[in-house]
Amino acid sequence: MRKYIVLVIFLVCSVVFASGCVTNKSTNTTKTYAQNNISFTYPGSWEIVNATSPNAVVAVVDPNSVQNGTPTTLVVIQKPDISAGSDINTIYTSNYATFFNNTNYQRISDGNITVNGQSAPENIYETNTTVNPIQYSAVWLNESGSIYVILSAAPASDFENETTNFNLILNSFKLQ
Amino acid sequence: MAVDRVKKLQGKEVTEQSTEYLSDKKKEDADTVEKDALIQKYVTNPPEKPFAQTGSSGLSKGKIGLLIFVVLAFFVGTGYGVYVMSIPANNSSGSTIDVNASAFPTVNNTTVNQTVNPTNTTSTTTAVTTPTTTTTVTPTTKTTTKTGGTTGNVTKKNKTSN
């Protein structure tokens, strides 16, 4: 009888310890988007949503960031309507020459990053609000003569934590 | 003793074995009493444990407490694990979430009317092609009215005079 009691306690302890090790495995899984001549990998817990942005190709959001129907952590991929072969730096400069005429945004930084071995201009800005500002990172990619803009957004206080997810999409982005 | 009496009544001789037997028995009794005295003197029984108390319930209070703790820990642990797991939001379906964030500047949809002499002005609408040197990025879904230099549909008033 005593042996059975010890065995039961051991099994229960094993279950308790195992339950303490429970994690959300979906955070480590990924999904792949492959439509509209592009493909990329995104976090498994994120969802493809309807993009109403001008020239948007696709948008993915973190469902847990949705507040009142509006996501705050998201990535939108846009393809500006310009002729193929246009100079990306010229278009980039022209875009942000007028972009910040909108006082809802304020520039944080402007520079170049390396994506898959290629230099890409990046503009980081955030909403000009004191309460829960949203930070944006717009990376402009030149893929085989076509320009794609990968716009990542998250609450400014959480932006660094989402960098891994943003980089997952950015580094896996390619034309099909 | 009864056997001896029966033998006497039968006229038989009573052997001396019976007296020896009695003396041996007395010795045995004396030894037994002596042994009992020695046992009571030197042999002590261990104090009785509260065996009846543990035997009646089957588990001690400590074991019951440990069992309750483990069961509580199980539920607390599993509850915390479920809490830590990111539960999908109810509105996670893509059809109910719209994203309108854009990396491009918003374009105001304004119309400019240039009227010099209403009586001598005719209005025509033409689509102006984009100059090759223009690099302004404008969403195609928006309509802007300018007097040249940008992409998109441009409405221009041509002035004619007599």
CA torsion sign, B114 to B117 to B118 to B122?
Answer: negative
Look at residue B86 in the predicted model and tell me its pLDDT: 57
Instruction: Give dist(CA B107, CA A108) in Å, integer.
Output: 22
Look at residue B126 in the predicted model and tell me its pLDDT: 42
Tell me which residue in B74, B101, B135 faces A12 most closely, judged by beta carbons.
Answer: B74
**Residue ranges of the domains in chain A?**
27-175
Flag the least confident range among A3-7, A35-39, B13-17. B13-17
Q: B85: nearest CA in chain A?
A: A24
| Cβ separation B98–A50 shorter than 8 A | yes
Residues in A closer than 8 angstroms to B63, CB to CB, are: 5
Identify whether the C-beta of residue A62 lies closer than 8 Å to the C-beta of residue A45: yes
Residues in A closer than 8 angstroms to B78, CB to CB, are: 19, 22
Instruction: Give dist(CA B35, CA B39) in Å, integer.
Output: 6
| Cβ separation A64–B104 shorter than 8 A | no
| Cβ separation A47–B94 shorter than 8 A | yes
What's the whole-model pTM score? 0.53
Look at residue B40 in the predicted model and tell me its pLDDT: 86
Question: Residue range B80-97: average pLDDT?
Answer: 65
Residues in A closer than 8 angstroms to B91, CB to CB, are: 63, 66, 69
Give this complex's ipTM: 0.78
pLDDT, tens only, A30-87 = 999 999 999 999 999 999 999 999 999 999 999 999 888 889 999 999 999 887 778 8
Question: Residue range A8-21: average pLDDT?
Answer: 73
Architecture of domain A27-175: 3-Layer(aba) Sandwich (3.40)
Chain B nearest CA to A62, separation (Å): 9
| Cβ separation A9–B66 shorter than 8 A | yes
